[in-house]
Chain A
């Protein structure tokens, strides 16, 4: 974002405004958000629950909940040589379905719930490929097995016909990632992909996302885990109450936060060697302290 080498944009969101659109008590949920995801960069969107992170990402896939009635702003996806204005496509139209299938991969928060409990892993990974491309089932299976192996699922050919409940949480998330990657999209949206996982698996999953970035994809990661952001992301956008209040590279934002909220957010993260007798800050205390200039 800041390091202005000639970076190739995959997705640009410009002045995105979402609100509930009621006549009397219309509520603005996302208020003028703009960002760009570049090829080969991982953009982390951080912020507390309800800050509009997830809605922002849902609007990229054009899958907003029906409570969001008014949408404005431009969402442009650069697929190959063409530009697609996602906000202008019909939500359930054939074109939008194709873009969702081929150009955008999504990884969800809870891999147990996001996998269909009564279908085998193999079928779920290949379904997208079979729905959007003309490959035979046999070819699709070969591709899926290779992909699963490359994502660290050992003896994938045997596990291919197993059901989600036979997999551990981390393995299920790898399967979700396989589903996201099977059609080789340029853009991957990961909505808190590690919230339901333990620390070691979190690191493994983030490493896989990092690999995707290094393979030349653009990844947008939604999280509130600052540690993961510091370690894996390239750029950060901090959201607060529907707005992006600070953005920049990881070094800039985490090293020298300009906005008091960002500073407050960082104070909520426990670090080694911190004073044991002082309570860990919560957002409200940290934010007010930061606003009063108590930041050291």
Chain B
């Protein structure tokens, strides 16, 4: 009854706009659910794991999925399901912390370069291009060989090699925002340059920064997997998604023991897809032009 009444009284919305509204929410919801599920299970690894972290059992190597080992075991008889949960902790820790660090570096440098302009901007721009142009893997190799391979060193390496995207976004936004009348108004109030940059202008750039941050997390999860696959990432004694995937380097594993590499691969894919969906949804929600429909 009520539905009928509504369709007769309200004019029909164009089907396209209706669909757009639904997809936007759908994207954000699905992405959030995937990320939250993966992150929560990694955090609750102690409760959810069926086996001790890194527990070697040479009597049950390369077992296919079964009642005791839900996702099978690897070449050393470690339970893949538990390893995945604990590995998620390290992988997500690396990704989240280094993405945040990279964002801080990018935001601060980008804000300063964009606002001050001239030679400060030129210098920071050239510096970012230098980092950007340097072959990524070689840079990581050098840094890892200098500071050594550990979880926190990896965080630093990622932070130092991924801030350039945020830097450029923030710099561009500042370059246009600094000519807004409200910045002039702030200047006539005698506010200091630092106050104008960080308290007046920066909040206006919050949404692109947030989107860049979430994409950064996904990028670093993938980068960690790639580095670990090459044996340059987190030391193999610590489980990470990338280290688990590294087992697929052996052709024998690839051919005969699919459960050892399919599941970490799926988790990594789902997570990065989830993050990208959230980033997409955030972009729409945070865009003031589309927010008021």
Interface Cβ pair total, 8 Å cutoff: 63
Determine if A266 is an interface residue (Cβ-Cβ < 8 Å): no
- Taken together as a complex, chains A and B put the C-alpha atoms of A96 and B189 apart, in Å, by 10
Per-residue CB contact flags for chain B residues 149-193 toward chain A (1 = under 8 Å, else 0) read: 000000000000000000000000000000011101111111111
Q: Select the stretch in A115-123, A198-206, A216-224, A236-244 that faces chain B.
A: A115-123
Taking the closest CB of chain B, its distance from the CB of A212, in whole angstroms, is: 17
Beta-carbon nearest neighbor of B180 in chain A: A113
Beta-carbon nearest neighbor of A131 in chain B: B191
Taking the closest CB of chain B, its distance from the CB of A151, in whole angstroms, is: 17
Chain A residues 242 to 291 lying within 8 A of chain B, measured CB to CB, are none
Determine if A100 is an interface residue (Cβ-Cβ < 8 Å): yes
User: B180 — which chain A residues lie within 8 A by C-beta?
Assistant: 113
Question: Given A116-B204, A119-B203, A131-B195, does the pair A100, B188 have CB atoms closer than 8 Å?
Answer: yes
Q: Is A114 in contact with B185, judged by CB distance below 8 angstroms?
A: yes
Q: Is B191 in contact with A108, judged by CB distance below 8 angstroms?
A: no
- Taken together as a complex, chains A and B put the C-alpha atoms of A98 and B193 apart, in Å, by 13
Q: Is B184 in contact with A63, judged by CB distance below 8 angstroms?
A: yes
Question: Given A113-B180, A115-B182, does the pair A127, B204 have CB atoms closer than 8 Å?
Answer: no
Most A C-beta atoms less than 10 A away, residue of B181, B186, B189, B199: B189
Per-residue CB contact flags for chain A residues 68-96 toward chain B (1 = under 8 Å, else 0) read: 00000000000000000000000010001
Question: Given A119-B203, A127-B199, A131-B195, does the pair A114, B189 have CB atoms closer than 8 Å?
Answer: no
Determine if B200 is an interface residue (Cβ-Cβ < 8 Å): yes
- Taken together as a complex, chains A and B put the C-alpha atoms of A61 and B187 apart, in Å, by 9
Q: Is A106 in contact with B185, judged by CB distance below 8 angstroms?
A: yes
Q: Is B181 in contact with A97, judged by CB distance below 8 angstroms?
A: no
Q: Is A115 in contact with B185, judged by CB distance below 8 angstroms?
A: yes
Determine if B142 is an interface residue (Cβ-Cβ < 8 Å): no
Q: Contact partner of B190 among A98, A114, A118, CB < 8 A?
A: A98
- Taken together as a complex, chains A and B put the C-alpha atoms of A101 and B192 apart, in Å, by 10
Taking the closest CB of chain B, its distance from the CB of A93, in whole angstroms, is: 11
Chain A residues 122 to 146 lying within 8 A of chain B, measured CB to CB, are 127-128, 131-132
- Taken together as a complex, chains A and B put the C-alpha atoms of A233 and B181 apart, in Å, by 26
Beta-carbon nearest neighbor of B292 in chain A: A165
Q: Is A117 in contact with B188, judged by CB distance below 8 angstroms?
A: no
- Taken together as a complex, chains A and B put the C-alpha atoms of A98 and B3 apart, in Å, by 63
Q: Is B192 in contact with A131, judged by CB distance below 8 angstroms?
A: yes
Question: Given A108-B181, A116-B204, does the pair A63, B187 have CB atoms closer than 8 Å?
Answer: yes
Determine if B58 is an interface residue (Cβ-Cβ < 8 Å): no
- Taken together as a complex, chains A and B put the C-alpha atoms of A110 and B185 apart, in Å, by 11
Chain B residues 187 to 243 lying within 8 A of chain A, measured CB to CB, are 187-193, 195, 199-200, 203-204, 206
Number of interface residues, chain B, beta carbon within 8 A: 19
Beta-carbon nearest neighbor of A97 in chain B: B190
- Taken together as a complex, chains A and B put the C-alpha atoms of A117 and B200 apart, in Å, by 10
Beta-carbon nearest neighbor of B201 in chain A: A116
User: B206 — which chain A residues lie within 8 A by C-beta?
Assistant: 118
Beta-carbon nearest neighbor of B189 in chain A: A128
User: A100 — which chain B residues lie within 8 A by C-beta?
Assistant: 187-190
- Taken together as a complex, chains A and B put the C-alpha atoms of A116 and B198 apart, in Å, by 13
Question: Given A116-B204, A119-B203, does the pair A101, B181 have CB atoms closer than 8 Å?
Answer: no
User: A45 — which chain B residues lie within 8 A by C-beta?
Assistant: none
User: A213 — which chain B residues lie within 8 A by C-beta?
Assistant: none
Q: Is B184 in contact with A101, judged by CB distance below 8 angstroms?
A: no
Beta-carbon nearest neighbor of A112 in chain B: B181
- Taken together as a complex, chains A and B put the C-alpha atoms of A168 and B185 apart, in Å, by 19
User: B187 — which chain A residues lie within 8 A by C-beta?
Assistant: 63, 100
Q: Is A132 in contact with B190, judged by CB distance below 8 angstroms?
A: yes
Taking the closest CB of chain A, its distance from the CB of B57, in whole angstroms, is: 56
User: B203 — which chain A residues lie within 8 A by C-beta?
Assistant: 116, 118-119
Question: Given A63-B187, A116-B186, A118-B204, does the pair A92, B193 have CB atoms closer than 8 Å?
Answer: yes
Q: Is A61 in contact with B188, judged by CB distance below 8 angstroms?
A: yes
Taking the closest CB of chain B, its distance from the CB of A193, in whole angstroms, is: 12
Q: Is B189 in contact with A116, judged by CB distance below 8 angstroms?
A: no
Q: Is A97 in contact with B192, judged by CB distance below 8 angstroms?
A: yes
Q: Contact partner of A113 among B181, B188, B190, CB < 8 A?
A: B181
User: A102 — which chain B residues lie within 8 A by C-beta?
Assistant: 190
Q: Is B204 in contact with A114, judged by CB distance below 8 angstroms?
A: no
Per-residue CB contact flags for chain B residues 104-139 toward chain A (1 = under 8 Å, else 0) read: 000000000000000000000000000000000000
Q: Is A128 in contact with B191, judged by CB distance below 8 angstroms?
A: yes
- Taken together as a complex, chains A and B put the C-alpha atoms of A113 and B193 apart, in Å, by 20
11 contacts between A and B (CB under 8 A): A61-B188, A97-B190, A98-B190, A99-B190, A100-B189, A106-B188, A116-B200, A127-B186, A131-B189, A176-B185, A179-B185
* A-B complex: 9 closest residue pairs judged by Cβ atoms: A101-B190, A100-B190, A97-B190, A113-B181, A114-B185, A106-B188, A128-B189, A118-B203, A114-B181
Q: A96-B190, A117-B204 are in contact. List 14 more A-B contacts (CB 8 A).
A: A63-B184, A63-B187, A100-B187, A100-B189, A101-B191, A106-B185, A108-B181, A116-B186, A118-B203, A119-B200, A127-B189, A127-B199, A128-B189, A176-B185
